[in-house]
Structure 1
Amino acid sequence: MELQKRFNDLMKQDVKPFLSERGFVRKGLNFNRKTDGLIYMFNFQKSAGNSADNVMFYVNCGIYAAELAQIQSKGLLVEPKEAECHFRARIGDLAGDMPDRFAIHPDTCMNELRNTLLGGLDEAIHVYDTMTSARSIVDYYMSGPYLHLSEESFHLLLQSNEIATAKQYLKDLQEKYGAENRWTIFENKYRAIFHAFGVEFDAL
């Protein structure tokens, strides 16, 4: 219980005040900040393998976009879970020098852990501050290019009449994933989206 108390104190005395100052509201192990059309989130996920001598946790980052939820024909969520966010990452993806997971042992220096964690949250918030719209999320996944959110991305681009950008994204995806067996499934989905917007589908 001693290590669990250290974790609870870290959340209450350090993380909550730090994030509250930056507009985040705590509910359990989730911290949300809402803006017009977007919800930014930090989720603290405790490891299933915790014990009296070892408390481990992950920090998950997420952004929920009302515009992308509408494209998905899903009802808008007031308090989405991290798994329901459109942008999802571990804090190490957004902040440099972050461990894959944090661990509290009997000999852990809590000051050092606190400084590392709060520094990582600060870096992640700076990334959040650059992602101010559904299009920002789409740009992130196009830059990969990633398959995640690709169908919604094509919808967003084509409804904005950004046909050249959509075709370049299609080309980038095909170059990266075209040799995989599953590519045909994605290609058929993309073709249907292009046709729905009356745009010629140029499979390479």
Structure 2
Amino acid sequence: MQQYFNDLIKQDIKPFLSKYGFAKKNLNFSKTTENLIYMFNFQKSSGNSADHVMFYVNCGIYAVELAQIQSREILTAPQEVDCHFRARMEEIAQSVPDRFSITPDMNRDDLRKSLLNGLEEVIHFFESMNSARSIVDYYISGPFLHLSEECIHMLLQSNDIQAAKQYLKALQEKHGTERRWSIFENKYKVIFSKYGVEFEAG
């Protein structure tokens, strides 16, 4: 089954993703544009055996602009863990399972079709995420705590004060009762203060 996994990557996944400009390195496929790097990472499950191989597909987008806000070194070959947007394939492509399973009695055509359809759905999603701001907008829509400091930085940096305040309010409504909220709130105060904008806690 391990050999089938290797063949699947080599004979199906690699040619499919290369059509969209993705280059392969180990189990990572990446595509670089001017300010963003898009990535697929194929992660094998730790509990695999000779006749049962399970794997996940991780999706990521790395943004130079957000790395600069974080004062981090700009990476030309980031790993999936370095990406600013991160999701498992099934979070984006609703039609795929949460993990793919290779067994001797599986239907190989069904697996291949499901996987390629899922990759195509994610690629269309990637096309809509074409700037650091679109990553920020995605996390604002949650509203998610992940990347929230960078989101507020970017909104205030671009003088979108109204959006920053609305985002803060939405975060407070969703996460304000959590014990860790005060830690985040203090970080947000510092960011608002840096841009000379009044901080309005709920």
Same fold (TM over 0.5): yes
1:17-43 superposed Cα distances (whole Å, 9 cap, x missing partner): 000000000000000000011000000
Aligned to 1:16: 14
Aligned to 2:153: 155
CA distance in 2, matches of 1:127, 1:140: 11
Aligned to 1:106: 104
CA apart distance, 1:142: 0.4
Letter in 1 for 2:89: I
- Size of the aligned set, in residue pairs, is 202
CA distance in 2, matches of 1:125, 1:113: 18
CA distance in 2, matches of 1:130, 1:144: 17
Letter in 2 for 1:160: S
Structure 1 runs (4+) greater than 6 angstroms displaced: none
CA apart distance, 1:147: 0.1
CA distance in 1, matches of 2:6, 2:178: 45
Aligned to 2:67: 69
TM-score scaled by structure 2? 0.99
- Segment drifting more, 59-68 vs 93-102: 93-102
Query: Counterparts in 2 of 1:1-204, with a 5 A limit?
Result: 3-204=1-202
CA distance in 2, matches of 1:13, 1:110: 13
Aligned sequence identity (%) = 65
Structure 2 segments unaligned to the other structure (5+ residues): none
CA distance in 2, matches of 1:22, 1:97: 21
Structure 1 segments unaligned to the other structure (5+ residues): none
TM-score scaled by structure 1? 0.98
